[in-house]
Amino acid sequence: MTWTSAPYLKAGIELDRITVMGIRAVGHHGVLPHERAAGQPFVVDLTVHLAVNDAAANDDLARTVNYAELAEQVVGILTGPSVDLVETLAQRIAVAVLQHDRVECVDVRVHKPMAPIPVEFADVVVSIRRDRSSGALWADKRIGSAAGMPQDPLAYAPSVAGDQFDVRPLQPVRALLALGGNLGEVEATLTDAVHALDRIPGIHVESTSPLVASAPVGGPPQPDYLNAVVRVTTALTPRELLAACHGIEMVHGRQRGERNGPRTLDIDIVDVEGYRGESDDLTLPHPRAAERGFVLVPWARMEPDAQLVGVGSVAQAAANVAHAVTIARDPWPVRA
């Protein structure tokens, strides 16, 4: 029987899929004693949802997921400790697969073709879908999208939802985003990110700053950065906007590991009109924006009269750090 997994969208972008079907092993699972004693065959179909464009562009297995490893993991669970329910097997497989950094969602189908049913039947199948918001995993703690190290359960809604950052504005509001990167074709990545933002329902790009270059601050030795800021209007909640930024980062191969390490793309929320405060995953305005020349200098060039809460004139603040930033391209993008 052909099985096609439904698409999985992150921030309005449909992810790619890798499917491994018909993974077979004998397991000792079931409610009845003879099922555990004798064992029986189990079959698993698996689809993982992730972005493979980075792996395809570089022909690099390390930038995708190894489907041989996935199959071995599944067999390890099927032949491992006994459980009563097929549902439990499916859940254990899903959580194990979601441990892979690049996997955003997984569909699992567990077949039990020799289930002890006293009538004629073809198969018993349990199908589940789990993603990073429903798996019992860990998420990054962030201000904007600046990564901290993993600390928080990925049960996203129970841990952080329900505060002011989940309140939808009555009408579209203005927000400022800071973009940067120092790995790969950075200018092309930043340009693609601007276009991706503008394609997401509820976000409209109004203007972009010049592109600037700056040396990395902290972290391991790494290339210089290219940065820009983008003015948008949005009908999304701040947390929905944050999720959209994370989705675009992920599609462009962002990996969150070493603090202040190099990255293909980083999108921080600097400010959202009408929102002030702090939560576990978001602080507005961004508490370090006033220290960052790569934010202040392009922002002042884009909006000379801009004001930042707690700082005042962005142009005056930019003058104090302008020495650390070089204008790389103005106007930018070359073609919006």
For every residue of 271-330, DSSP letters joined together read EETT--EE-SS-EES-TTGGG-HHHHHHHHHH-TT-EETTTEEHHHHHHTTGGGEEEEES
* pLDDT computed for residue 40 by the predictor: 95
Q: How many domains does the chain have?
A: 2
* pLDDT computed for residue 256 by the predictor: 67
CATH code: domain of residue 243: 3.30.70.560
127 and 193 fall within a common domain: no
What is the spatial distance between Cα 322 and Cα 324, in angstroms, rounded to a whole number?
Answer: 5
175 and 299 fall within a common domain: yes
261 and 308 fall within a common domain: yes
pTM above 0.75, yes or no: no
* Mean pLDDT computed over 162-166: 86
Structural domain includes residue 147: no
CATH code: domain of residue 15: 3.30.1130.10
* pLDDT computed for residue 335 by the predictor: 53
* pLDDT computed for residue 101 by the predictor: 80
- Under the banding of pLDDT at 50, 70 and 90, the label for residue 202 is confident
Span of 174-178, 268-272, 323-327 with lowest mean pLDDT: 323-327
Span of 23-32, 138-147, 204-213 with lowest mean pLDDT: 138-147
Structural domain includes residue 1: no
Domain final residue pick, 131, 152, 169: 131
Phi-psi region of 172 (alpha: psi -120 to 50; beta: other; left: phi over 0): beta
| pLDDT over threshold 50, residue 70 | yes
66 and 120 fall within a common domain: yes
Structural domain includes residue 198: yes
Span of 52-61, 88-97, 135-144 with lowest mean pLDDT: 135-144
- Whether 141 is a known active-site residue: answer no
Q: Which long-range contacts (CB under 8 A, 24 or more apart) does 307-313 make?
A: 308/271, 309/271, 309/276, 309/285, 310/285
175 and 123 fall within a common domain: no
320 and 251 fall within a common domain: yes
* Mean pLDDT computed over 96-103: 88
* Mean pLDDT computed over 171-184: 94
230 and 319 fall within a common domain: yes
Neighbours of 32 (CB within 10 A): 11
Structural domain includes residue 154: no
205 and 271 fall within a common domain: yes
What is the spatial distance between Cα 113 and Cα 287, in angstroms, rounded to a whole number?
Answer: 57
| pLDDT over threshold 50, residue 316 | yes
Domain final residue pick, 112, 131, 150: 131
Instruction: For residue range 108-162, list pLDDT tens digits in order.
Output: 999 999 999 999 999 999 999 988 765 433 333 222 333 332 333 333 333 344 7
285 and 173 fall within a common domain: yes
CA 268 to the chain's CA centroid: 13
Between residues 146 and 200, the one the model is more confident about: 200
Structural domain includes residue 267: yes
Q: Which domain holds residue 174?
A: 161-329
- Give percent of the chain with pLDDT exceeding 90: 58
Rounded to the nearest integer, the mean pLDDT of the chain is 85
Q: What are phi and psi of 221, to 5 degrees?
A: -60, 135
199 and 105 fall within a common domain: no
* pLDDT computed for residue 161 by the predictor: 47
Residue 227 and residue 294 in contact, taking contact as beta carbons nearer than 8 Å: yes
82 and 175 fall within a common domain: no
Tokens representing 229 are 């800021």
Question: Which of 10, 29, 112, 286 is flagged as catalytic?
Answer: 112
Structural domain includes residue 214: yes
127 and 166 fall within a common domain: no
Domain final residue pick, 79, 114, 131: 131
